[in-house]
Structure 1
Amino acid sequence: NPTQVGTALQVFHNLGTLKDTIASVVDGYCTVLEENIKNALDIKVLTQPSQTVTRGGPGRAAMPTPGNTAAFRAALWTNMEKLMDQICAACGQVQHLQKVLTKKRDPVSHVCFIEEIVKDGQSDILYKFWTAVTQTLSSQFQSATDSSMFLKQAFEGEYPKLLRLYNDLWKRLQQYGQNIPRNFNASGTCTDLFAELQQMEEDTQDLFMQKTQDYDPEKALKDSLQQYEAAYLSKSLSRLFDPINLVFPPGGRNPPSSDELDSIIKTIASELNVAAVDPDLSLAVAKNVAKTIQLYGVKSEQLLSTQGDASQVIGPLTEGQRRNVAVVNSLYKLYQSVLKAVHDLMGSAVQPLLNSVGDSVEAIIITMHQEDFSGTLSSSGKPDVPCSLYMKELQGFIARVMSDYFRHFECFDFVFDNTEAIAQRAIELFIRNASLIRPLGEGGKMRLAADFAQVPL
């Protein structure tokens, strides 16, 4: 409760211990989180079949037995999910503390409490806390994976799952910055604290809602994952290259069969789908896919016949020409299949946004029935009839969607093709609902005609 926090801060300020108390609280959060990280990555705990942890002796290493590898992985990811919850909770508490400190003033001296904490230098305790947390994550993850090959293999092999946990944590931190508790009760020395905090949120952005040239808090969080990403991408490239090297053996003279090509395509689609949890990872894997297709092209080029029999047009199809035809057909099938896989993935990525846009457009159109179309024609000459309010709202919404969302896509044709169905549905719904409007006066007919004129715009 902000009021209780403000009262407690006032007490510590009166005692002259505010700065030391805040430092102790923040350091306490850092210490607890460091312990939480160590516990989450404790290989001895993760490999125990029961809650009893046995002590290891000299030369005895804690490692999962072959039959317990699945249980080890399950325990690890459960611990990681709990760790993300703990980090989020601690960040929320420090963030809340800083917001109160920034606006709480001493009723006598009118000095802002944050000025008492640090009179010179960085007054952002959340920044200091976040820096400490991210550095601890990096060091503890490094130490844990250096001492345990099983942890290292888990994080490298299932890196997308680890990255998804980090992305979910980041989203929660951003949402928390937008949803500060509203149960303020202004009284005594905390008068108007709620209003002041609201004003502060309008004047300044939260650490988790912005990045600067000097510091990117999201990047600082993900820096602890760099080594696992590099290893994952290396293994991903190997998984992509292996089926190609397998179907193009040294000395081979025939292109891959349809089944072999299907296996290559499924591998490509699988790698792209797994990487879809993060835009940056998707881009990195897409580059690996590009290298894979390039390798396929190089291998296919080595099969081509460039001798004289490849260009003859006098006799029947030669062996070299048959091989060239087979290579071209193989390349064409790869081209079509990969293009379809990529196109499907792009479509699934934008479909949630398209669904929301379509639902919003339909909801706005239906509001035409809330307007009055029963009016008569104006008696003053040629009427200048404006369009209806729902049409103005619809135009404003479409303009905002185009500006805020669709303009960021570089594939304009793809966006146009996918939004065409929304436009068709909107026009159909508009005509159907317009035909149902009752009562409809002469003035309403003119306004409805003006609405129809705005549809192509």
Structure 2
Amino acid sequence: MASPSTMQRTTTNLIPPSSPLQRLSTFKEPSSPPPNSISPLSTFSTDPIFSAFLSPNFNSTQFSSQALSSGSAAACAEKLEEGIRLLEKQLRSEVLTRHDDLLSQLSSLKDAETALTIVKSGISTLQSSVRKVRQEIADPNRQIKLKTVLLSNIHTTAELLQCSVKVLRQSKKLKDLMDVDVVESEKLDLSKAAQLHREIVSLCEENSLSGIGVIDEELSWLLETGNRLRTEGMKVLERGMEGLNQAEVGSGLQVFYNLGELRSSVDTLINKYKNQGVKSVSGALDMKAISASSGNFGPGGIQRSGTPQIGGGGKAKEGLWKRMNTCMDQIHSIVVAVWHLQRVLSKKRDPFTHVLLLDEVMQEGDLMLTERVWEAIVKSFANQMKSAFTASSFVKEIFTAGYPKLFSMIDILLERILQDTDVRGVLPAISSEGKDQMVAAIDLFQTNFLALCLSRLSDLVNSIFPVSSRGSVPSKDQISRIILRIQEEIEAVKLDGRLTLLVLREIGKVLRLLAERAEYQISTGPDARQVTGPANPAQIKNFMLCQHLQEVHTRISTTMLGLPTVASDVLSASLGAIYGVACDSVTTLFQAMLDRLEGCILQIHEQNFDVHGMDAAMDNNASPYMEELQKCVLHFRSEFLSRLLASFSTHGLSTGTETICTTLVRRMASRVLVFFIRHAALVRPLSESGKLRMARDMAELELAVGQNLFPVEQLGAPYRALRAFRPVIFLETSQFGASPLLQDLPPSVILHHLYSRGPEELQSPIQRNKLTPLQYSLWMDSQGEDQIWKGIKATLDDYAVKVRSRGTRNSALYILLCLDWDHR
């Protein structure tokens, strides 16, 4: 076949050198018109009539219609004829002007026609040559194609034969490996067999060997062998998961990895365990199964509401708890087994490719295997619990009353799982969120349990403190029943801190309710405040209320000692309310008794402590005000305090703790001593005989308070002040600054006592401000030592002015007072 360049040369040779085609390129360009000539087209473009004919959108019908409607059709036609004549004249002029050029062009066209005829003849010759060449090369090309196809088929056949031989050889190895008795199946190298099986299947699939008779026979055997390998591999894997044997789990996983089915096999296994967990949860709450396993309780076994027939409740309850225990054990086994599988996957790598098996099973963003199983179990558990709560009154009642036991089961399950999967460097089986989800599944029963707890305790309070009755006071047994019930509620949940706090909040509500009901029962008015006669019914009622609330406060506080601080904080406000109401029930009485005792002490200012002589010094009788105070104390002790402190004498002293009543008595005893010392220091003047008499009064006061109110040795600072004031009154004034006794006395007591040693013109604050001892005492209660000193300092300043006005030096007493205050 001729090449394109050859054909080009041939075509060129067919054209003579002087042919008209070559001369076409010598055509002359038309000469340009004379420079001064004006083209008619340029005049027509500005003419209003002829310009329309130059438009590409010219419409003859429209032009004619406009000419006729204008009324000058004849003039228009005449102008058109004139234009035609002008164009013909212009055309003629162009032809004449370009005559030579036109003749030359005509001659060139004739030469071109002759040249084309020659070219056609040459092309026909060329086509004939091409046909000859095509015939000469077509047969070799056909032969080459046939031989190429033959070679390809031979090559493909050879490859198929080689692959078939390799498949048969590998199949022979696999058969030798698989030729193991059932008894000796444990000796089978499953991993190697799986690797061979995958290689054979891959060869068959990659080379499309199906359809070859001998290969098809092997493929049928391979299918059976693959099923056997999967079965044996799954047995090894499940046995390893159940026994938590990492080696067996690794071997089973390697089998499926070699088979190329690791991800699908693990997914199948995980789905199996998920289904087992869901089935275990649903089976635990199957009331029909529980009823059937507990015996036949009549037709149908259970009623529509999920409640066993009469006589079967106890056994059904026992069966329910037994099934729940079994369910918890099964969930534990499932989760730990899946965690063990996950642990091995995260550690094992293929020995040849070093690929981590976990990367083959999971992709980025996938849930962990334990999370998948736990999520399914928790979801099923939550649905079953919700269904049991709404559909089965029996299950609702059992799980509500036994919520602590139910919660304990779940808590033990979670702790067992976390403990058994606590391996360093490995994630635990469940997260904190997973634990919360499991606990949240029984929130319905928790809410009901807390409501039931509040209802039980509130009913007890309402039964002993009915709203309609105000005069009744509960018995000691009724109060003990409430306390015991509260202690039982705490005891039932104390092993779980979270549940304990929830129950304590409900107990706090009950204690506040108890305080409110008791406060409503308190008697008020003059009868409750009288202290001159025997205890009346109103006071006895208040005493009983106080003792009851005191018992509640003491015993509940003792119960809280064994609990964490946060638990005590939950009940602190409620116990404070109990304490406050208990105090309120007797506070008015104690205030009345204290007012009476202070009134007796105020009579000290009516006594004459300025007497002189041996008779006064030898008089061993107490002052009249002190005798009256002793009588009052004895009366209070026999009529009021003996009733209030009866329980304390048997309980409080043995434990060494104070009760509400003992606290009030201690405060009253301390106030009596402080009040006496204050007013004893204000006595003025005070003779030596008067000092002896005051010392006897202090001894009588100490005896009366210690025997009838509170042991004075346990009163602390007030008692030390009383013991110190007795020898202080016998000190010389010059000895005051160095005496250690002053450390136990308030500065105001010392300073007030020094007035009794000063001249009469030195006015005391009471005299200067013209106050009664009671008024001054009330003012001192509302002020601190600094303010009291300012009042004393004012009297000393006044005295200093008087001394200076007489022209004498300051009194030594004044200097002593200032030095004493600075020293203090």
TM range (shorter): 0.5 to 0.7
Contact in 1 for aligned 2:298/2:309 (Cα 8 Å): no
Of 10, 24, 31, the match for 2:275: 31
Query: Helix, strand or coil: the match of 1:29?
Result: helix
CA distance in 2, matches of 1:130, 1:150: 28
Q: CA deviation at 1:255?
A: 2.7
Q: CA deviation at 1:14?
A: 2.1
Q: Give 1:19's aligned residue.
A: 263
Contact in 2 for aligned 1:56/1:62 (Cα 8 Å): no
Residues 244-253 or 96-105, more deviating: 244-253
Of 438, 447, 451, the match for 1:221: 438
CA distance in 2, matches of 1:328, 1:144: 47
Of 479, 482, 487, the match for 1:261: 479
- Report the residue type matching 1:239 in the other structure: R
Query: Helix, strand or coil: the match of 2:522?
Result: coil
Higher relative contact order (CA 8 A, sep 6+): 1
Matches within 5 A, 1:392-407: none
Matches within 5 A, 1:77-92: 77-92=321-336
Cα-to-partner distance string for 1:368-420 (whole Å, 9 max, x where unaligned): xxxxxxxxxxxxxxxxxxxxxxxxxxxxxxxxxxxxxxxxxxxxxxxxxxxxx
Q: Give 2:428's aligned residue.
A: 206
Contact in 1 for aligned 2:523/2:539 (Cα 8 Å): yes
Change (3 A) 1:140 1:20: same
Q: CA deviation at 1:19?
A: 1.1
CA distance in 1, matches of 2:480, 2:534: 31
Of 258, 275, 281, the match for 2:493: 275
- Report the residue type matching 2:451 in the other structure: S
Q: What TM-score results when the alignment is normalised by the length of structure 2?
A: 0.37
Change (3 A) 1:14 1:55: farther
Query: Helix, strand or coil: the match of 2:350?
Result: coil
Q: CA deviation at 1:50?
A: 5.9
Contact in 1 for aligned 2:287/2:306 (Cα 8 Å): yes
Q: Is it true that 1:43 corresponds to 2:43 in the alignment? A: no
Of 315, 329, 337, the match for 2:547: 329
CA distance in 2, matches of 1:61, 1:330: 44
Q: Is it true that 1:64 corresponds to 2:308 in the alignment? A: yes
Q: Is it true that 1:162 corresponds to 2:406 in the alignment? A: yes
Change (3 A) 1:20 1:238: same
CA distance in 1, matches of 2:543, 2:409: 48
Of 333, 341, 345, the match for 2:559: 341
**Structure 2: runs of 5 or more not aligned:** 1-244, 568-824
Change (3 A) 1:63 1:289: closer
Change (3 A) 1:130 1:244: same
Residues 106-115 or 71-80, more deviating: 106-115
CA distance in 1, matches of 2:510, 2:252: 62
Cα-to-partner distance string for 1:12-54 (whole Å, 9 max, x where unaligned): 1222211111111111111112112122111111122667899
Change (3 A) 1:205 1:135: same
Contact in 2 for aligned 1:44/1:53 (Cα 8 Å): no
Of 314, 317, 334, the match for 2:535: 317
CA distance in 2, matches of 1:54, 1:30: 35
Q: CA deviation at 1:81?
A: 0.7
Q: Give 1:416's aligned residue.
A: none
Q: Give 1:307's aligned residue.
A: 525
Q: Give 2:38's aligned residue.
A: none
Query: Helix, strand or coil: the match of 2:424?
Result: helix
Q: Give 1:395's aligned residue.
A: none
CA distance in 1, matches of 2:288, 2:449: 25
- Report the residue type matching 1:40 in the other structure: A
Of 97, 104, 111, the match for 2:341: 97
CA distance in 2, matches of 1:308, 1:228: 52
Change (3 A) 1:56 1:99: same
Q: Give 2:57's aligned residue.
A: none
Contact in 1 for aligned 2:306/2:391 (Cα 8 Å): no
Q: What TM-score results when the alignment is normalised by the length of structure 1?
A: 0.65
Q: Give 2:370's aligned residue.
A: 126
Contact in 1 for aligned 2:342/2:370 (Cα 8 Å): yes
- Report the residue type matching 2:355 in the other structure: V
- Report the residue type matching 1:218 in the other structure: K
Q: Give 2:505's aligned residue.
A: 287
Contact in 1 for aligned 2:280/2:327 (Cα 8 Å): yes
Q: CA deviation at 1:254?
A: 3.3
- Report the residue type matching 1:278 in the other structure: D
Change (3 A) 1:52 1:271: closer
Query: Helix, strand or coil: the match of 1:305?
Result: coil
Change (3 A) 1:126 1:264: same
Change (3 A) 1:66 1:344: farther
- Report the residue type matching 2:503 in the other structure: V
CA distance in 2, matches of 1:303, 1:53: 51
Query: Helix, strand or coil: the match of 1:122?
Result: coil
Q: CA deviation at 1:155?
A: 0.9
Report the RMSD for the aligned CA atoms in angstroms: 2.7
Q: Is it true that 1:73 corresponds to 2:317 in the alignment? A: yes
Q: Is it true that 1:116 corresponds to 2:338 in the alignment? A: no
Residues 226-235 or 40-49, more deviating: 40-49
Residues 247-256 or 156-165, more deviating: 247-256
Q: Give 2:449's aligned residue.
A: 232
Contact in 1 for aligned 2:370/2:429 (Cα 8 Å): yes
Contact in 1 for aligned 2:378/2:437 (Cα 8 Å): yes
Query: Helix, strand or coil: the match of 1:174?
Result: helix
Change (3 A) 1:311 1:156: same
Query: Helix, strand or coil: the match of 2:499?
Result: helix
Change (3 A) 1:302 1:53: closer
Residues 232-241 or 139-148, more deviating: 139-148
Q: Is it true that 1:137 corresponds to 2:381 in the alignment? A: yes
Contact in 2 for aligned 1:45/1:53 (Cα 8 Å): no
CA distance in 2, matches of 1:317, 1:290: 33
Q: CA deviation at 1:150?
A: 0.7
CA distance in 1, matches of 2:508, 2:501: 10
Q: CA deviation at 1:315?
A: 4.4
Contact in 2 for aligned 1:114/1:123 (Cα 8 Å): no
Query: Helix, strand or coil: the match of 1:67?
Result: coil
Q: CA deviation at 1:119?
A: 1.9
CA distance in 1, matches of 2:353, 2:434: 35
Change (3 A) 1:124 1:285: same
CA distance in 2, matches of 1:305, 1:62: 52
- Report the residue type matching 1:122 in the other structure: D
Change (3 A) 1:298 1:134: same
Larger radius of gyration: 2
Change (3 A) 1:160 1:62: closer
- Report the residue type matching 2:461 in the other structure: I
Of 346, 351, 367, the match for 1:107: 351
- Report the residue type matching 1:235 in the other structure: L
CA distance in 2, matches of 1:149, 1:50: 18
Change (3 A) 1:301 1:61: closer
CA distance in 2, matches of 1:12, 1:48: 42
Cα-to-partner distance string for 1:199-243 (whole Å, 9 max, x where unaligned): xx43344244x53xxxx2211211111000000000011111111
Change (3 A) 1:61 1:329: closer
CA distance in 1, matches of 2:264, 2:340: 18
Change (3 A) 1:53 1:135: farther
Cα-to-partner distance string for 1:67-107 (whole Å, 9 max, x where unaligned): 11100100101101111110011011100000001111122
Q: Give 2:84's aligned residue.
A: none
Query: Helix, strand or coil: the match of 2:292?
Result: coil
